[in-house]
Amino acid sequence: MLYTITLNPAVDKVIEIAGTLEREQNNKIKKVLYDIGGKGCHVSAVFSALGLPNIATGFTGGRNGIKLVELMEEKNIKCEFINAGSTNTRECTILVDESNLGSYMITESGELPDEKAYSELILKIQKEINEDDIAALSGSPATGFPKEKYCEIVKTLKNTGAKIFIDARDEYLKEVINLEPFFIKPNKYEFQVLTGKKLEKTDDFIEEIQRLNEKIEIVAVSLGEEGSIVGVKDRGVYGFTPPKIDVVSETGCGDIFVGGVISKYYLKKDIEEIFRFATAISASKAAHFLSSDFSLEQTSKLLPLVKIKKYK
């Protein structure tokens, strides 16, 4: 089974404004739509699009929690979220107008789950996840969620024997490295924070990636439109470059990339095929507006255009 654990998911409310958004004017809404939010939820969207068995868990609450599950179920994602107590899942507002100058993201930081919910999640992991499973822990928890608890979740996952894929940042990523997850995917900015170095040249990235490969099987550093550098323990370091795309929105590309990696890993494909696919599907995401949107048809067309290099 493929699990995603999203500690601070969201309902994304996308508001399309007619014309150009102006201060101190009546800005008329053209359309409102809702999308699943939270990195792990986006990862689940890839699994379900490919017809892979998967369960989304994490914390939800209140009316927005119900709304999120509805939106997930429309995408055929099986949800087993834990009720986070008297909280309401956060709502993130995305404002987009017709100026073609990009969107505004206005996000709530999310409420903390109560102790009972936290214990329930730990118990669920212990009872239900086992060594044949894969678990993706994507995104940060709500502000104020203690690092110790985050690490406890990862340790509990580790004890099940499942393969752990992490997409985290800042102090959560730093802490989790010592727990030796199977896979991490920092973007360029997150990787520089992690290493504490300003990295410019490919060789600088390779050196740091190889250092981390002593502990972590797969280290994928994503570089937006430039693609990714991927180090695989005892195998080497590879570069994957996507074809040029007419970009609509890069938000969510990393999440869809992670979904692509896990899906092909689950299907026992080799490293080149895994990351060729992840690169193509995340490029397709860049051509779509919503964070959870991509096209499998476009992905197939992009696959042969992905360039692969072996660095080491």
110: number of Cβ within 10 Å: 26
Counting Cβ atoms within 10 Å, is residue 28 exposed (0-12), middle (13-18) or buried (19+)? exposed
Binds 242: which of ligand ATP, Mg ion, none (CB < 5-8 Å by kind): ligand ATP
120 binds ligand ATP (CB under 6 A): no
Cα distance between residue 237 and residue 258, in whole Å: 18
Q: Which is nearer to ligand ATP, 123 or 247 (CB)?
A: 247
Letter for the amino acid at 149?
K
Q: For residues 2 and 55, is the Cβ–Cβ distance under 8 A?
A: yes
Letter for the amino acid at 17?
I
**At which residue do the structure tokens 């180090």 appear?**
231
Cα distance between residue 295 and residue 144, in whole Å: 36
Q: Where are the alpha helices (DSSP H) in 196-295?
A: 202-212, 253-266, 271-286
- Give the β-pairing of 29-37 and 10-17: antiparallel
282 binds ligand ATP (CB under 6 A): yes
253 binds ligand ATP (CB under 6 A): yes
273 binds ligand ATP (CB under 6 A): no
25: number of Cβ within 10 Å: 9
293 binds ligand ATP (CB under 6 A): no
Closest CB 11 distance from ligand ATP, rounded Å: 17
Residues 236-265: x where in contact with Mg ion by CB under 5 A, - otherwise, as a string:
------------------x-----------
**At which residue do the structure tokens 């690092």 appear?**
147
SS (H, E, C) 18-47: CCCCCCCCCCCEEEEEEEEECHHHHHHHHH
3: β partners = 55, 135
20: number of Cβ within 10 Å: 12
User: Quick one: which H or E segment has residue 127?
Assistant: helix 115-128
Q: Which is nearer to ligand ATP, 122 or 199 (CB)?
A: 199
Which range, of 9-17, 51-59, 231-239, 277-285, touches ligand ATP by CB under 6 A?
277-285
Which range, of 53-61, 192-200, 266-274, 279-287, touches ligand ATP by CB under 6 A?
279-287
Closest CB 116 distance from Mg ion, rounded Å: 30
Q: Tell me the residue length of the chain.
A: 312
Q: Which is nearer to Mg ion, 74 or 170 (CB)?
A: 170
Residues 175-214: x where in contact with Mg ion by CB under 5 A, - otherwise, as a string:
------------x---------------------------
Closest CB 259 distance from Mg ion, rounded Å: 12
Q: Which is nearer to Mg ion, 129 or 253 (CB)?
A: 253
272 binds ligand ATP (CB under 6 A): no
Choice from 223, 303, 305, 308 touching ligand ATP (CB under 6 A): 223
Q: Which is nearer to ligand ATP, 218 or 253 (CB)?
A: 253
For binding to ligand ATP (CB under 6 A), which residues are involved?
Answer: 187, 222-225, 227-228, 242, 245, 247, 250-255, 257, 279, 282-283, 286
For binding to Mg ion (CB under 5 A), which residues are involved?
Answer: 187, 224, 254
